[in-house]
Amino acid sequence: MEIFSQAVSAFPPGATLPETAYVVKGEGKRHHEKAIVYYIPNSKQPTKPDEKGFTSSELCHAYSQLLSAKEFTRAWFNTEIESGKFSGGAPCNFLAIGAVFVGLGLATKQRGLFRLSAST
C-alpha cells in the first residue's frame, strides 16, 4: 500500500499523531492535491486550534528520503519542502510527517530527526 494511503488508514479523524498534540481532522486538499489535515494547539485562542496539512507528494518525498538516507531531518525538510520545492511546507509539518513515520513503525524520533527503524 502506498505511504499516503497507509497514513490515512492509520490516522483516522480524531487520532492524535504520536509524540505531538496534533489531532487529525481527516483527509482533505492542499494545493490541489490530497492531503492529511490536522489541528495544532493555538496558544492565543486555545478553543480554536489552527488547521495545518501536508500533501501526499510531501509525505512521499519525505518517505523516499527516510528510506534512502535512513533518516528524515529538519535540515533536509527545510531545504527540500519548506523552501518552496513543495509549496506550503509549514515547520509543524516536519513533526507531523515524522510522527506519521513513528506511528507506522517506520522511524524513531530523535532530537531534530527521525531515524529509519531497524525493522524497516
pLDDT tens-digit map of 67-94:
999 999 999 998 888 655 555 556 789 9
In this prediction, residues 25-46 reach a mean pLDDT of 93
- Of 8-17, 37-46, 56-65, 83-92, minimum mean pLDDT range: 83-92
* Those residues with Cβ within 8 angstroms of residue 25's Cβ, 6 or more apart along the chain or in another chain: 13, 37, 38, 39, 51
First and final CA of the chain: distance in angstroms? 15
pTM greater than 0.85 (yes/no):
yes
Cell 481532522 belongs to 25
What is the total count of domains within the chain?
1
Query: Residue 29 carries which side chain, given as an amino acid letter?
Result: K
Q: Which domain holds residue 71?
A: 3-116
Examine the pLDDT at 1 and tell me if it is beyond 80. no
